[in-house]
Amino acid sequence: MWQFYVKHNHSVGLHSGEGAMTKSEYLGRREFMGIATGTTLAARAALAGSSETIAVSEPFNFAVIADPHCAEVPKTGLEVYGNGVEKFLRCFEKMKELPKEEQPDFALIAGDIHPEALAPHLDTITLPLHVVAGNHEGSNETRGLLRAMFPHDFGSGGAVRDYYAFTHKGIRFIASCDAGAGGDHIGHFSSELIAPHGQCDWLEKELQRPEPRKVLFAHIPPALDDVERNMYMGRNDSRWFLELVRETKPEMLFFGHLHHPTEEHQIGNTRCINVRSCCWNFQNAPVGFLLVRVGAERMEFREIITGTCADKA
Ligand SMILES: [Zn+2]
């Protein structure tokens, strides 16, 4: 299922970092560690009761991994864990050590993957992956490579798409692309590099589908305080997206891009999680990923830390 044929000798210019963060860019965030507290799902449960769609009949798990940056050299303080792709593969090794009941069915990869560095190792990952592009996949070449590596989600030939959705055990998973051309660190749903045009219409339809429980993931998070700044969706994209989320009430959202310790926000009834990178984080914060448990009525998640900076160990 994971076999593909791509050329590996690409010479691709990649950004090595996301730029310095200012204190104001942390506004409104709440650091998260351990198991999250839940959201009331009474409204959603009531909706599920009246829906013809199938409720989750058996609990399952999925992983969320952000910003693997596979092509990056070992980071200062994290040298012992190797380069980017080695730190990414370490996440899957950690998953294998989990007890059977915690094994994930698949992993969502929230962008900034560096597909040319992952490609030679992809067949060593046995877990199904569902990926979205990040700003590091902001050229025709990198976007094309990502599509070629994951044709089951992105399609092929003249039918490629950078956004897609699938249903797993009654839950609708929506993969949105908010990373455009040229490596722009500001997110937007329309770009000459995001194919096909019309993602906003598609997203409105997806979030209004009958499945009562939905999960959305993308690379760049929305700005929650209506302020235009770097590293988040643009102001107008944020406004439109937040309104859509409040109206359609997906259960959980996952984003990467920030390289902060994992943080949780609330958007109406929806939990919005900005996930730490598994490659490096600002202020030498530990690296890791999320394990999400999907129960009959709610989702819980916990972080699995895969590396700690030497000066913080
Ligand atoms: Zn990014």
CATH number where 208 lies: 3.60.21.10
Is the predicted pLDDT of residue 300 greater than 80, yes or no? yes
Question: Quick check: is 43 in a domain?
Answer: no
* Centre of ligand 1 from the C-alpha of residue 255, in Å: 10
pLDDT of residue 158: 81
Entry field: residues in the chain: 313
Closest by Cα among 56, 129, 126, 61 to 100: 61
pLDDT of residue 259: 98
Question: Quick check: is 4 in a domain?
Answer: no
* Centre of ligand 1 from the C-alpha of residue 134, in Å: 5
Q: Which helix (H) or strand (E) holds 72?
A: none
* Centre of ligand 1 from the C-alpha of residue 49, in Å: 39
DSSP structural state of residue 58: S
Question: Quick check: is 155 in a domain?
Answer: yes
Question: Quick check: is 19 in a domain?
Answer: no
* Centre of ligand 1 from the C-alpha of residue 294, in Å: 27
* Centre of ligand 1 from the C-alpha of residue 184, in Å: 9
Q: What is the pLDDT of residues 219-237, one digit of tens each?
A: 999 999 999 999 999 999 9
Domain residue limits at 163: 49-312
Q: What is the pLDDT of residues 35-84, one digit of tens each?
A: 333 333 333 333 343 444 445 668 999 999 999 999 999 999 999 999 99
- 199-207 and 235-248 helices cross at what angle (nearest 10)? 20
* Centre of ligand 1 from the C-alpha of residue 186, in Å: 9
Question: Quick check: is 65 in a domain?
Answer: yes
* Centre of ligand 1 from the C-alpha of residue 211, in Å: 30
Burial of residue 63, with CB atoms counted within 10 A of its CB: 0-12 exposed, 13-18 middle, 19 or more buried: buried
Beta-bridged to residue 117, according to DSSP, are none
Question: Quick check: is 257 in a domain?
Answer: yes
Is the predicted pLDDT of residue 156 greater than 90, yes or no? no
Question: Quick check: is 10 in a domain?
Answer: no
Question: Quick check: is 222 in a domain?
Answer: yes
The tally of domains found in the chain comes to 1
- Helical ranges in the chain per DSSP H: 42-50, 84-96, 115-118, 140-149, 151-154, 199-207, 235-248
Give the residue-averaged pLDDT of 182-208.
97
* Centre of ligand 1 from the C-alpha of residue 130, in Å: 17
